Structure 1
Amino acid sequence: METLITDIKIALGDNDDFFIKRDYLIEEEVVFLGLNTLLDITKTKTTLQKQTESLILKGKTTQLLFNLIGDVFENDTKRAISSILEGKLIIFIENTKQFIIYEPISKSINRSIEIPTNENVIQGPLNSFTEDIDTNIGLLRKQLISKQLIVHTTSTGMVQKTNVSLLYLNDKVDQKLVDNIKSLIEKNNDLEITDLQGLSKMLEFSSWDTISKFNTTELPFHASQFLKRGRVILFVNQLPFALILPNLIWDMFIVENDRNFPFPIMIAIRFLRIIGILVALIAPGLYVALVAVNPEVLQIELALSVAQSREGVPYPALVEVIIMLIVLELIIEASVRLPKSVGQTITMVGGIILGQAVVEAKLVSNLLIIILAATTIANSTLVGTQSTTSIRLFKYINIILSSLYGVLGLVTGIVLICSYFASLTTFGKSYLYLNIERKDNSG
């Protein structure tokens, strides 16, 4: 046993929160090892004492007591070290080669379940996922009480161990999809997973895809509905959201909370989101096309009004649009990075003052400010931060093509974007797939 303790001291002894304490348990001399930043040793010892006293009163033998307290191992230094790093308490038994891995009283270092911060819920459950993977699985199990819900958890990484959990409904999912994901996780088990790029690398997704293969949600209710439609859910420890595979284009327009409204209202809301993506993609390019290349398409009164709004603007329409779009992107990025207490105020006031100043200075037209404001609002109607970011990128393709070929270039850009969407697949499922839910043909 002394060799095991020495090996652990060599591995962890440089840490000030690592402790080794000798004590007695069931009249046996033992050694406690752990990290006092992850466990409460005082409360743990009190709980352990009460547990052993209760078992002694039931007449259990010493060896059986040890087995009932926790998992007993022998001469496994690697397991002991990894268990300590995970926050477990190691109990070495003197004069033997055995040690017990005990589940201690952990210190409260996890965030409590709170309302979502990135997804607004109008009508529906308000609890959201946290950074603790076990809590997230528990939230989903509480939301979806079914014996068909299957959970597979794997520890990945060589240096930094990270748990990755795969969840699916056994009677709804395509088993080939599950098998593909499992095989890739096992194949690339040594990769470090700390973000979505790392997970994409593990699942061998292209790093140059502008559309994310994952749809993300903070809401257990939404995750449970995706499971019912035959999707799979991935949880990564320390990531406070669920990753849904595969991601489909319709996820940008459909939110399960819409079903809390009357059916006509639900359809109208989803139709508004479709209008939103069209405005976000087309409006800036259409402005450039009609101003710079095809003004003859406009009625004479409207053409004169547009020309008057651009009177004195020294730049071509393309440069004018690109400059203002970049400024808007900076404002959006600043609103994300600034502290919440001042972020909204600074970006709103800055945007208003900046917009008014550039118009009065004759650097951009009044009409362009209206177009870009409508584009930004329309882009925000889409569901999911991953989707809105992608659409923000695609509109630049339409702007450039519109500046070269006018309305024809805009149409070409839309066709290219639709072709790109049609070319995307995730484990054999097209990005444009209409319904991934399996039909139950039994009885």
Structure 2
Amino acid sequence: MKSIFLYFKDSLTYNDDLFMTEHIYDDVHVVLFGLKSLIDLPKTNQAIQNQIQAPNESKESVVQHLQDIGDKITTKEQALSAIFNGKLLIYITGNPSYFISVIPINKELQRSIEAPTNESVLQGSQYSFNEDRNINVGLLRKEIVSEKLKVKDVTIGQDNTRNISVLYYESKADQQMIDKVIQLLEKNKSKELHHIQDLTKMLGLSGWNVVSQLYTTELPQEASTAIFKGKIVLFVDRFPFALILPSMIGDMFMLENDRNFTYPLMISIRSLRIFGFLMTLILPSLYVALVSVNPEVLRIELALSVAQSREGVPYPAFVEIIIMLLILELILEASVRLPKSVGPTITMVGGIILGQAVVEAKLVSNLLIIILAAVTIANSTIVGVQNSTSIRLFKYIILIFSASFGVLGILVGLFFVCAYLSSINTFGVPYLNVKFSKDDLNNG
């Protein structure tokens, strides 16, 4: 036993939260190993005693009970890994050939199930995923009460291990895609996983795509709907959201929560999102095209009104809108980074003062401020933070074409955006596919 103490002492140097405690369970001497920062030792110890306590128990029966409530570990390396994964190790004195690894009562280190913070729900379940992977799997189990919901766990990493749960519906998901995802994760088990970019590389997806091929959501209702459609859901330790693949263009406009409204309302809401998508892409470019390149397209009254609003502005329309768009991007980024108590107030006041000041200083036109406000509102109608961010980038591409070729440049820019989106596919499923089914992998 002395060598075991020395091994853990050498391996866990500078880890003062390690405990090594001797205990007696009905005349059986044991040593408990674990991290007091992760394990609630008094509650765990009491729970073990309640499970093995019985009258007239022999020493062999107690040892057998301890083996039944845990798993045998035969190497010191496995024991060390179990400790850092938050498990309790039991060493039975006189049995130096193995340890017993027990799942303890953990300390409350994760937040409880709360309402979603990044995705608003008008009519639907008001709870969201959190950082505990097992809780997230449990939430989906409550949404999908069926034996066909399958869960496969994979451990990734050597220095910093993370567990990934792969969830799918057996009769609806394509087995070929499931096997490929699990095979890629198993193949990259030795690599470290710190963020979504690492996971994207492990799955063999391009990390340079503007549009993410992994759709994220914190709503169990959306994740369960994706599973029923045959998609795969991934949960990663300490990631408070579900990762859904394959991602498709419909994820920008369609929420399962929309189906809680009547059909006319659902169609109207989704049509508004599509209109907001097109408005975000086209409106800034249309301003530049009609002011700088093709003013003859406007009616004479509207052309005179636009010219009057730009009277005294020293910059071309393209430079004017680029400057204001970049300032607007800074305001949006600041609204995310600032504390919630002061962020909305500061960004609103800053936006109002800035907009009024630049107009009075004759640096930009009144019409441009209206267009920027409309574009910002329209961009916010798109579902998902990653989707709205990618659309913000696409509008600059179309803006450059419109500054060079006018209205024709808008059409050229839209053509390039559509061509780019059509080139994206995830495990053989095209991004522009509107309705996904497991047969899409076979049909191309």
Q: Partner of 1:82 in structure 2?
A: 81
Residues in 1 aligned to 2:196 and 2:2: alpha-carbon distance in whole angstroms: 42
| C-alpha deviation, 1:286, in angstroms | 0.5
Residues in 2 aligned to 1:103 and 1:86: alpha-carbon distance in whole angstroms: 10
Q: Partner of 2:18 in structure 1?
A: 18
The aligned runs of 1:234-383 (5 Å cut-off) are: 234-383=234-383
The amino acid that maps onto 1:35 is: L
Q: Secondary structure at the match of 1:328?
A: helix
Q: Secondary structure at the match of 2:33?
A: strand
Residues in 2 aligned to 1:65 and 1:225: alpha-carbon distance in whole angstroms: 42
Q: Does 1:30 align with 2:26?
A: no
Q: Partner of 2:442 in structure 1?
A: none
Q: Partner of 2:199 in structure 1?
A: 199
Mapped contact 2:52–2:62 kept (Cα < 8 A): no
Could you give the per-residue CA deviations for residues 107-163 of structure 1, whole angstroms, max 9, x where no partner exists?
A: 111110000000000000011000010000001111111111010111101110001
Could you give the per-residue CA deviations for residues 58-99 of structure 1, whole angstroms, max 9, x where no partner exists?
A: 99723322222311233x111111111111111111121222
The amino acid that maps onto 1:296 is: E
Q: Partner of 1:423 in structure 2?
A: 423
Residues in 2 aligned to 1:9 and 1:160: alpha-carbon distance in whole angstroms: 20
Aligned CA RMSD, in angstroms, stands at 1.4
| C-alpha deviation, 1:186, in angstroms | 1.1
Residues in 2 aligned to 1:55 and 1:394: alpha-carbon distance in whole angstroms: 73
Q: Secondary structure at the match of 1:341?
A: coil
The amino acid that maps onto 1:422 is: S
| C-alpha deviation, 1:46, in angstroms | 1.8
**More deviation in 273-282 or 17-26?**
17-26
**More deviation in 384-393 or 16-25?**
16-25
Mapped contact 1:185–1:202 kept (Cα < 8 A): yes
Q: Secondary structure at the match of 2:222?
A: helix
**More deviation in 192-201 or 245-254?**
192-201
| C-alpha deviation, 1:177, in angstroms | 1.2
Q: Secondary structure at the match of 1:353?
A: helix
Gap regions ≥5 residues in structure 1: none
Mapped contact 1:157–1:193 kept (Cα < 8 A): yes
Residues in 2 aligned to 1:63 and 1:42: alpha-carbon distance in whole angstroms: 20
Identical residues among aligned pairs (%): 53
| C-alpha deviation, 1:222, in angstroms | 0.9
Q: Partner of 1:412 in structure 2?
A: 412
Residues in 2 aligned to 1:255 and 1:80: alpha-carbon distance in whole angstroms: 45
Q: Partner of 1:71 in structure 2?
A: 71
Residues in 2 aligned to 1:230 and 1:318: alpha-carbon distance in whole angstroms: 45
TM (norm. structure 2) is: 0.96
Mapped contact 1:66–1:72 kept (Cα < 8 A): no
Residues in 2 aligned to 1:58 and 1:153: alpha-carbon distance in whole angstroms: 38
Cα pair distance change 1:63/1:57, threshold 3 Å = closer
Mapped contact 2:252–2:387 kept (Cα < 8 A): yes
| C-alpha deviation, 1:54, in angstroms | 3.6
Residues in 2 aligned to 1:58 and 1:363: alpha-carbon distance in whole angstroms: 89
Could you give the per-residue CA deviations for residues 328-350 of structure 1, whole angstroms, max 9, x where no partner exists?
A: 10010000000000001111111
Residues in 2 aligned to 1:125 and 1:418: alpha-carbon distance in whole angstroms: 35
Q: Partner of 2:93 in structure 1?
A: 94
The amino acid that maps onto 1:95 is: G
The amino acid that maps onto 2:81 is: S
Cα pair distance change 1:175/1:303, threshold 3 Å = same
Residues in 2 aligned to 1:293 and 1:137: alpha-carbon distance in whole angstroms: 55
Residues in 2 aligned to 1:63 and 1:52: alpha-carbon distance in whole angstroms: 9
Mapped contact 2:288–2:317 kept (Cα < 8 A): yes
Q: Partner of 1:184 in structure 2?
A: 184
Mapped contact 2:90–2:101 kept (Cα < 8 A): yes
The aligned runs of 1:32-181 (5 Å cut-off) are: 32-54=32-54, 61-74=61-74, 76-97=75-96, 98-181=98-181
Q: Partner of 1:388 in structure 2?
A: 388
Q: How many residues align structurally?
A: 438
Mapped contact 2:70–2:100 kept (Cα < 8 A): yes
The amino acid that maps onto 1:246 is: P
Mapped contact 1:228–1:437 kept (Cα < 8 A): no
| C-alpha deviation, 1:387, in angstroms | 0.4
Q: Secondary structure at the match of 2:348?
A: helix
Mapped contact 2:28–2:59 kept (Cα < 8 A): no
Residues in 1 aligned to 2:58 and 2:113: alpha-carbon distance in whole angstroms: 39
Residues in 2 aligned to 1:173 and 1:270: alpha-carbon distance in whole angstroms: 26
TM (norm. structure 1) is: 0.96
Q: Secondary structure at the match of 2:367?
A: helix
**More deviation in 55-64 or 156-165?**
55-64
Could you give the per-residue CA deviations for residues 240-299 of structure 1, whole angstroms, max 9, x where no partner exists?
A: 000000000011000001011110010000000010000000000000000010000100
| C-alpha deviation, 1:56, in angstroms | 5.9
The amino acid that maps onto 2:194 is: T
| C-alpha deviation, 1:45, in angstroms | 1.5
Residues in 2 aligned to 1:346 and 1:34: alpha-carbon distance in whole angstroms: 47
The amino acid that maps onto 1:383 is: V
Mapped contact 1:218–1:242 kept (Cα < 8 A): yes
Q: Secondary structure at the match of 1:166?
A: strand
Gap regions ≥5 residues in structure 2: 440-444
